[in-house]
Amino acid sequence: MATKTVTVPKTTKEGFNPFKMAQQQFDRIADKLGLDQPTRELLREPLREYHFQIPIRMDDGTMKIFHGFRVQHNDARGPCKGGIRFHPQETIDTVKALAMWMTWKCSVADIPLGGGKGGVICDPHNLSEKEQERICRGWVRQIARDIGPFQDVPAPDVMTSGQHMIWIMDEFQTISHGAFQPGVITGKPVALGGSRGRTEATGYGLVYILREVLKELKMDTTKTTASVQGFGNVARYAAELYTQYGGKVVSVSCWDQNDACSYGFYKKNGVNLEELLKITDRFGTIDKDKAQKLGYQITPGDDWLTHDVDILIPAALEHSITAENVGKISPKVKIMICGANGPVTPEAEDVLDKRGVIVIPDFLANSGGVVCSYFEQVQNNQNYYWTKEEVLGKLDNKMTDAFYHVWDLAQRKKVRISDAAYMIAISRVAEACKMRGWV
């Protein structure tokens, strides 16, 4: 019988290590807060880290071994929470960084959850639906004893969807002798316990915060322009709500699977989201030829940084704005609000800070997704479900409240927004650990 093994990559992006960057960010704030050594040691590493092999029979009859991960960074404030990513270049360091960022994200949003993350090294572009289902079921079989509604609650992430979550929920239910536990997973379809408004939550939550930033800077939204990196779920809904508020998006970008690179789609008078969605495939790739016929200028993928706009919204990949390319950003830019996880390196943020650009960090700006996942858990536990309007209204209140806690601290302490957000998030988690007697 033929057997294939997926090689585990050691690094991402030419040696870039996202977990080292996450630790660097933490260490900087730990110094500001004067955290004691035991608390630093506890919080700069995950509490638990799982690696496992997932043997899968492929459609052609061969066996293939996939490598899976789950990291639980900290659960002092509540069960771990975090997505499952399917990506051919997934690494444990990426998963560890994302789990740590999720801890801070739940904390700054003040929801009773901790940080977790999972992943499988695979490329869904090259897998059938049945093969993806087997991977999901194989993943949960390896980790079922260590997840659950009151332990660790996964969710969709890069290249996973509500359908993947249903397969995981169903397999978990089989393992737990048929007990119906929809709260084991979030990001589910509404028909099986998902929350209305979850699809829009991350992008909308980002724009709720952007709206308040513009108010504080006394900028009229209807007179602002934005450039967006990405055209996935976060980017689309952020662009949608921002344009509903009267702003103009002049550029979006997407990854092209066929060319293995990204492209930008620029239109000075503003992009039309509906027409672009009509020429976008299920993986988020926009048809370049059709876009050109619609009047879009096709640009290299990193050109989204260079446009003369007021607002930049990185909403695709980590490590997108670095010391090497931050100089390309237009002097007109006033705000960078991060929809992706870890898109701005500390070195790049230092440059932006000196230029007077306000950077709203990822774990605050994109926390709408996990806030709505928390709402989904609450609804699952109550077995009572809210309307979309109720969900988005509660989300708006939660995001606005989180922003002003951060904004007010930044003004009082004369620190940048990201530092204030980290100070609040890390302080809350450290306090929970001390109250439990862990440190």
Per-residue pLDDT of the chain (439 residues; tens, 9 = 90+): 444 444 333 434 557 898 998 999 999 999 999 999 999 999 999 999 999 999 999 999 999 999 999 999 999 999 999 999 999 999 999 999 999 999 999 999 999 999 999 999 999 989 999 999 999 999 999 999 999 999 999 999 888 999 999 999 999 999 987 888 899 999 999 999 999 999 999 999 999 999 999 999 999 999 999 999 999 889 999 999 999 999 999 999 988 877 778 899 999 999 999 999 999 987 788 999 999 999 999 999 889 999 999 999 999 877 899 999 999 999 999 999 999 988 999 899 999 999 999 999 999 999 999 999 999 999 999 999 999 999 999 999 999 999 999 999 999 999 999 999 999 999 999 999 999 999 9
Quick: pLDDT tens for 100-155: 999 999 999 999 999 999 999 999 989 999 999 999 999 999 999 999 999 999 99
- Tell me the two tokens of residue 306: 């260079």
Query: Helix crossing, 417-436 with 388-413: angle to 10°?
Result: 100
Per-residue pLDDT tens digits for 357-367:
999 999 999 99
Tokens 């904390």 label which residue?
107
What lies within 8 Å, CB to CB, of 179 at 6+ separation is 173
The pTM is what? Answer: 0.90
* Other Cβ atoms closer than 10 A to 248: 20
pLDDT at 341: 85
Q: What is the DSSP string of 175-187?
A: HTTT---GGG--S
- Would residue 117 show up in a list of annotated catalytic residues for this protein? yes
241 and 355 both lie in a single domain? yes
- Residue 316 covered by a domain: yes
- Whether residues 284 and 348 fall in one domain: yes
Strands 311-314, 225-229: pairing is parallel
Same domain, 350 and 214: yes
The total of structural domains in the chain comes to 2
| 207 and 121 within one domain | no
User: Do residue 238 and residue 129 come from a single domain?
Assistant: no
Q: Are residues 256 and 331 in the same domain?
A: yes
Residue 326 lies in a domain: yes
DSSP H helical segments within 190-231, as ranges? Answer: 198-216
- Pair (257, 305) in one structural domain: yes
The whole-angstrom separation of Cα 235 and Cα 346 is 23
Tell me, yes or no, whether 286 lies in a domain: yes
Residue 260 has a pLDDT of: 73
Domain that holds residue 308: 199-360
pLDDT for the residue 12: 47
Helix (H, G, I), strand (E, B) or coil at 72: strand
Query: Does residue 376 form part of some domain?
Result: no
CA 193 to CA 168: how far, in whole Å?
14
* Residue 303 resides in a domain: yes
- Give the end of a domain, one of 151, 182, 213: 182
Dihedral sign for Cα 124, 129, 131, 136, please.
positive
Does 158 share its domain with 232? no
166 shares its domain with 51 = yes
Among 337, 360, 383, the domain boundary falls at 360
Domain holding 47: CATH number?
3.40.50.10860
Among 96, 105, 117, 398, which one carries the catalytic annotation?
117
Give the model confidence (pLDDT) of 200-227 as tens digits.
Answer: 999 999 999 999 999 999 999 999 999 9
| 176 and 219 both lie in a single domain | no
* Burial zone of 9 (CB within 10 Å; 0-12 exposed, 13-18 middle, 19+ buried): middle
What amino acid occupies position 248?
K
d(CA 324, CA 319): 11
Are 54 and 68 within 8 A, CB to CB? yes
> Are residues 150 and 52 located together in one domain of the fold?
yes
Rg (CA), the chain: 21
Q: What is the pLDDT of residue 185?
A: 95
